Amino acid sequence: MNQELDAQIEKKVKEVLDRELDNRLAEAFKEKGLGDRAAIIASKGTLDMAYPPLILASTAAALDMETAVFFTFYGLDIINKKKNAHLKVPPLANPAMPVPMPNIMGALPGMTAMATWMMKKWMGDQNVPSITELLEACVEGGVKLIGCQMTMDVMGVPREDLMDEIEVGGAAMFLEFASKANLTLFI
Amino acid sequence: MNQELDAQIEKKVKEVLDRELDNRLAEAFKEKGLGDRAAIIASKGTLDMAYPPLILASTAAALDMETAVFFTFYGLDIINKKKNAHLKVPPLANPAMPVPMPNIMGALPGMTAMATWMMKKWMGDQNVPSITELLEACVEGGVKLIGCQMTMDVMGVPREDLMDEIEVGGAAMFLEFASKANLTLFI
Amino acid sequence: MNQELDAQIEKKVKEVLDRELDNRLAEAFKEKGLGDRAAIIASKGTLDMAYPPLILASTAAALDMETAVFFTFYGLDIINKKKNAHLKVPPLANPAMPVPMPNIMGALPGMTAMATWMMKKWMGDQNVPSITELLEACVEGGVKLIGCQMTMDVMGVPREDLMDEIEVGGAAMFLEFASKANLTLFI
């Protein structure tokens, strides 16, 4: 091949690459779900640890990430209509409580109710939405809420006790989603 | 170059790109470990929090993800042959326990044994595998189990107390693996 | 087009791809932050759960990952200058404590102080750096430390109580960083 033709082909190849590569990479990244998917596991049922999955999920959705939360073990209480307005925070075994108290006191009857009342008051005073309000924000933001089938079976929780908006699924279903997520958190 | 030749070169370039690019991208993604690696840290040694890392890891392996679990802090107990069949769940400081009880009762002698017995019964009734059975499933599924060297040193745990199938390593070794994982969870 | 020209174009395209593609992919991956970013949430304020985010973050930074830790809920104590040298570990509701004790004993006054003293001694005996030393390592390694604005508001923590080196931000700021991270952990 003569040199001139060779140079022309090279120029042409680069032109096509410049035009094509960005699109093809964008497609490949999209297929991998990179950067635009958040997959969160909510495994705790105390009031304090119910906030993080819901705050993070609703914020991720607001940032246009495709977001799912898998509610498993004690975390199933968060999507339990009979329970989620009454989650509690225990004032013991946590020396980092804002108002720390000796464990021997924290174990006394009434103390969990008091700590729960205080946390709700602090949150409310700063206009942090309640758990049920955060759940509404998640639903409105298109967050996929998944109840863990195994936990429902083990704890004997009937479908009708859980929010209407959820799906029911297992670890495999969640992992299929999460395997294409960039952000994965176990809470 | 005449226009006809130009068009023919462009067509040819796209043809070759179509053939080549997907393979090269797939290789590049594979090298980055995207979408096919799960890296899990197990830091808790209670019965309830021993299930999630093992259920998620064995499920990820079944989904053909290259999976590793790093057992650190209290989580080292899960791969401790002398302890892992006897993990316990404490019935206090967790108002989300399926059968909640006042903390003052949960702290009484015998109550941890009772809560542990109950959780094992619920799990068994629904055919959830035991911790040792889940560990076997992980080993059979090719999950890499890593014991934290620092924890062994700090807690004085000799190598022979841990399962034969594990490797021993540090945070850096785990992070090298995890930095190419798509799914990363701290439990 | 004659066959000879066809073959030459194909050869040329592959040559250019070999030369160009790796660089372009590396740039694209870098822009996505893949494999070189670690995003960690520290939500606990007990001594035992303060180690993991700091050990993992300082190690990730040493491995040349761009690393950020978001201190939220009880985890804010870790960057609180008045508190972080005095974090405590409670000896109850955790049957996996290295020296397990009945919960009824663990709840007695003085027991949290004793468990904390023991954990610090074990760590020190194995030359594990203290919490404040680990924080220094993070700062020196260029780890971005972010205090949660909402937690500061809710718990009434003034900026001057927190380390000078931190930034203050919210969940959205952290998620923007984390959405381009490969390693994401909630501790």
CB-nearest partner of B59 from A21, A153, A171: A171
Highest mean pLDDT among B8-17, B161-170, C91-100, C108-117: B161-170
Q: Do A92 and B94 touch (CB under 8 A)?
A: no
Model confidence pLDDT, tens digit, residues C44-82 = 999 999 999 999 999 999 999 999 999 999 999 999 999
pLDDT score of B13: 76
How close C160 gets to chain B, by Cα (Å)? 31
Closest CA to A118 of A140, A90, A83, A139: A90
pLDDT band of residue A16 (cuts 50, 70, 90) is: confident
Instruction: With a cut of 90, say whether residue A142 has pLDDT above it.
Output: yes
Write out the H or E segment, with its range, that includes residue B122: helix B111-125
pLDDT band of residue B81 (cuts 50, 70, 90) is: very high
Model confidence pLDDT, tens digit, residues A55-114 = 999 999 999 999 999 999 999 999 999 999 999 998 877 888 877 778 877 778 788 888
Q: Do B183 and A184 touch (CB under 8 A)?
A: yes
Instruction: With a cut of 70, say whether residue C35 has pLDDT above it.
Output: no
Determine the 3-state secondary structure of C49 from DSSP.
helix
Instruction: With a cut of 60, say whether residue A135 has pLDDT above it.
Output: yes
Of A153-157, B35-39, C154-158, where does mean pLDDT reach its minimum? B35-39
Buried b (16+ CB within 10 A) or exposed e, C121-133: ebbeeeebbbbee
Chain B residues inside the 8 Å CB shell of A8:
1, 9
pLDDT band of residue A30 (cuts 50, 70, 90) is: low
Instruction: With a cut of 60, say whether residue C130 has pLDDT above it.
Output: yes
- Rounded mean pLDDT of B1-15? 76
pLDDT score of C32: 62
Instruction: Compute the distance between CA of residue A20 and CA of residue A9 in angstroms, rounded to an integer.
Output: 16
Q: Do B17 and A12 touch (CB under 8 A)?
A: no
Q: Do A60 and C175 touch (CB under 8 A)?
A: yes
Exposed, middle or buried, A99 (CB in 10 Å: 0-12/13-18/19+)? exposed
- Rounded mean pLDDT of B141-154? 97
pLDDT score of B44: 95
Q: At what angle do helices A47-62 and A131-140 cross, to 10 degrees?
A: 20
pLDDT band of residue C26 (cuts 50, 70, 90) is: confident
DSSP A106-125: HTSTTHHHHHHHHHHHHHHH
The side-by-side arrangement of strands in the sheet containing C183-186 is: C167-169, C144-148, C66-71, C37-42, C183-186
pLDDT band of residue A47 (cuts 50, 70, 90) is: very high
pLDDT score of B61: 96
Closest CA to A89 of A33, A41, A51: A51
Residue with tokens 């939360």: A69
Mean pLDDT of chain C: 89
How close B79 gets to chain A, by Cα (Å)? 21
DSSP C163-181: -TT-EEE-HHHHHHHHTT-
Q: Give me the interface pTM, i.e. the ipTM.
A: 0.82
Q: Do C93 and B88 touch (CB under 8 A)?
A: no
Model confidence pLDDT, tens digit, residues B57-74 = 999 999 999 999 999 999
Instruction: With a cut of 70, say whether residue A152 has pLDDT above it.
Output: yes
